[in-house]
Amino acid sequence: MLPQIVSLAAILTAAQCFQLNMTQFYEMPQLYDLDDYDRCMQELDGETSSYCFVRAQVQPDESVAAWRAIAEISRYDRHHFDHRQLYFGLCLRECEASLAGLDDAELESLLPGVLTENEKVNVYLGLFSMESQNREQHQRLTSACLNWRLKRRGFSLRAKSVVEYCDEAGRVVQDDAWNLTFYGLLCGLMVLASLGSLVDLLLKRRRHDKMLKERDHYKTPPKSLAQQLLLTFSVARNWYRLNQEPNGKIGRELRFLDCFKFFSMFMVIFAHTNWVIYESAISNPQDPERLLHTAAGTLLVSGSLITVTFFVISGLLLTINWLAVARTVQSKAESWTFLQYAVLFVKFNVFRYIRLTVPYAFVLLLSGVYFDTAGGPLWRHIYEREQLACRRNWWTNLLYINNFVQTDERCLLQGWYLAADTQSFVLSLVLLMLGHRFAKWSKQLYAVILAIFMALPVLLTYAMDYYPIFVPTPQTQKDSFIGDRQFTEFYTSSLMNFGCYFCGVLAALVYDQLALKQYKLRELRSFQLLWFALIPVGILWLFTAHPIFQHYYVAPSPIWGAIYAGLQRNLWAFGLSIFIVGMAGKVGWIFRKFACLPIFRILGRLTYGAFIVHLLVARIVLATVREPIYFGTGMMFAFIFFTMTVSYLCSFLLAIFLELPVSSLLKLMR
């Protein structure tokens, strides 16, 4: 292992060959120029005051040092922001005062034109279509104002611009049908939770068996169906459901998955909070740009592999549930009819759809609610854009097609995973049924499917000319992945991820056979060595993207790049599947003991809620900034831990009042 680590260190050092020229960097204008929002909105009582958020794009001029710096630094687009794109928050009153002394000729020279050719900006303009009158009214003033600032500060640059939106003092949010629907649903849940809890308390006090423990009361369902339905909303009963120990041998052996889900969720929140910070205003963009040129930057880029963990776990759990149901049905009938397969297929999909979609739909509804806030120059750019997208495209999320439909106006961007997972679920269930129906050929079927979906990413990457790895560039994140072909077609496609999902399916089949044969992996020394070796190999695998990501001057070979694209995620999924099977077989020593700690039982069960709500939390936190923030390690982790804490608290409430009641109702329907 030591020679491998030494070799990797040499490769990383050799591949890092870029030094940011800071003298040249400070020749460029700052990405953000924001006037004092609160002063603009509050200073003159009784007078209308407007504040406009304006997008600008610097026009080329090779004779200007600032443009040459922009062109040189921005060409490293995988690591740097696009410094042509500037963001202005302009108080119109201040703009009028600064331009008051200029004559008509000088004002005309400050109007290079309207920014119309930037497709990403046009998506924002389409969402903020209600601002068309403000754009027409304030376009000339804002364009002259920002170009005057660029000139006055000595940059000698001209920028085309367009008004994204304008705020006026005294703006009041009006409740509409969307808001009222959410408030009505929220009140309904509160009423049901109150009634369920009161009925549960009365039943507890009226019980005749004084020897019955309090916990046993909450585990025991009442005899009346009406009471059972009402008690699904009992807060106390749902707390016990959330905290209950796993049932059965399989549940106990796989309880470590809660730990996996929690730490994977932490990494997702880590990445997504950084993305929203990029989308916000940063005062020191040079620091995250320089970070991406290091081995730590490669680790951040390779961190996208964390989503593979969820695909593998999802495939594993589907297959375990399928095997349990199949054996129950098999015990009642030796041969299956097509109708039995069809009924099971519908039941699996309907129950899963209801279980996932009810809390998901609630968060979708919440994400579109207009409410009074402290606002800020970036509030509408960061948060209201999401509200508008959700009000327009909520149906793509509920149909789980949002990873390939309306991809430039995504509502809850992280929902792409649920779409890809749902599509993989449906296909995997069909394959498991085919494997069950034609059991004699099941191994050959699974081998062919695995080979196809291992090879498919290679073929698609080569044919479609994708970059070998998914790189969430700073500018792509700032633009919220709008118009990013690599994200939409390469990263979020179910075709590119199904091989990972199917590795989880195969892991469950292997685990099932080992359990049936009572094969004890922990007694096999060679497997234990393999299992422990997966930990350092997995860490090293994260850095295999370094020579590609940090190679600036020559494009990777199309063939070798395509091969790596097929291997990166699929081999990670394959190794993770072995790791999970081993831990299920009680391999892992102290790692398994830690992963099975009771605290992860609750945290793991709250992961789904945290997943669907965490981006809303991050956006609310960062959308209220008044000025560019300093991007540093302390600030970054402060935002991350705050987002994670609030997300899990929100997930707890969502679980108690909605997610667990829905789960209980589905159990009553079976």
Please give the structure tokens belonging to residue 203. 């039943």
Q: What is the largest CA-CA distance in the chain?
A: 93
Q: 8-17 long-range CB contacts below 8 Å, 24 or more apart? A: 8/540, 8/543, 11/546, 11/547, 12/295, 12/298, 12/543, 12/546, 15/546, 15/547, 15/550, 15/551, 16/293, 16/294, 16/295, 16/550, 17/550, 17/552
- pLDDT score of 372: 80
- pLDDT tens digit sequence for 3-57: 444 454 444 444 455 788 898 999 999 999 999 999 998 876 556 789 999 999 9
CA atoms of 667 and 202, how far apart (whole Å): 24
Arithmetic mean of pLDDT, 256-269: 96
Q: Could you give the percent of the chain with pLDDT greater than 70?
A: 94
Please give the structure tokens belonging to residue 207. 């019980």
- pLDDT score of 4: 47
562: left (phi over 0), alpha (psi -120 to 50) or beta: alpha
- pLDDT score of 213: 63
Helix (H) or strand (E) holding 400: none
- pLDDT score of 330: 77
Residue in 448, 457, 450, 455 with CA at minimum distance from that of residue 495: 457
Residue in 271, 331, 322, 262 with CA at minimum distance from that of residue 299: 271
- pLDDT score of 6: 41
User: 164-178, 324-338, 392-406, 493-507: which range is least confident on average?
Assistant: 324-338
- pLDDT score of 208: 60
- pLDDT score of 21: 86
Please give the structure tokens belonging to residue 312. 């593998």
pLDDT band at 209, cuts 50/70/90? low
- pLDDT score of 357: 97
Q: How far is CA 629 from CA 282, 426, 624, 641, in A?
A: 5, 44, 11, 17
Arithmetic mean of pLDDT, 373-400: 93
Q: How many helices and strands in the chain, by DSSP H and E? A: 33, 4
- pLDDT tens digit sequence for 98-121: 999 898 899 999 999 999 999 999
- pLDDT score of 333: 66
- pLDDT score of 215: 63
pLDDT band at 202, cuts 50/70/90? confident
The string of DSSP letters for 207-225 reads -S-TTS-HHHHHHSPPS-H
Please give the structure tokens belonging to residue 552. 């600036």
- pLDDT score of 3: 46
Q: Could you give the percent of the chain with pLDDT greater than 90?
A: 77
- Residue-level length of the chain: 670
Q: How far is CA 316 from CA 83, 497, 572, in A?
A: 45, 15, 15
- pLDDT tens digit sequence for 524-580: 999 999 999 999 999 999 999 988 888 876 788 899 999 999 999 999 999 999 999
Say which amino acid occupies 318. Answer: L
CA atoms of 211 and 306, how far apart (whole Å): 48
Phi, psi torsion values for 315, nearest 5 degrees? -60, -40
CA atoms of 245 and 598, how far apart (whole Å): 8
* C-alpha of 281 from chain center: 20
65-91 b/e with 16+ CB inside 10 Å = b? ebbbbbebbbebebbbbbbbbbbbbbb
Asked if residue 290 lies in contact with residue 257, where contact means CB atoms within 8 angstroms, the answer is no
- pLDDT tens digit sequence for 165-175: 999 887 788 88
Arithmetic mean of pLDDT, 369-385: 89
Q: What angle do CA 222, 224, 229 make, to 5 degrees?
A: 80
Taken in order 608, 613, 619, 624, is the CA torsion positive or negative?
A: negative
Residue 328 pLDDT exceeds 90:
no
- pLDDT score of 520: 87
User: What is the DSSP pairing of strand 50-58 with strand 85-91?
Assistant: antiparallel
* 18 vs 366 pLDDT, higher one: 366
- pLDDT tens digit sequence for 62-105: 999 999 999 999 999 999 999 999 999 999 999 999 999 898 89
User: Order of strands across the sheet with 50-58?
Assistant: 32-34, 85-91, 50-58, 159-168
